[in-house]
Amino acid sequence: MNAVFHWINDKEEALNNIYRALKPGEKLGICTAEKDHPFTAKMILNEVLRKAGIMDEGLESNAPVNIIDLDSLLKKIGF
- pLDDT tens digit sequence for 29-69: 988 877 777 676 677 777 887 888 776 555 555 677 888 98
Rounded distance, CA 28 to CA 72, Å?
A: 15
Q: Which residues pair with 34 in a beta bridge?
A: 65
> In the chain, how many domains are there?
1
DSSP secondary-structure letter at 25?
T
Q: Which residues pair with 65 in a beta bridge?
A: 34
Domain of residue 42: give its range. Answer: 5-77
Q: Which residues pair with 2 in a beta bridge?
A: 31
Mean pLDDT of 11-30: 94
pTM summary value: 0.61
Please report the pLDDT score of residue 38 as a whole number: 66
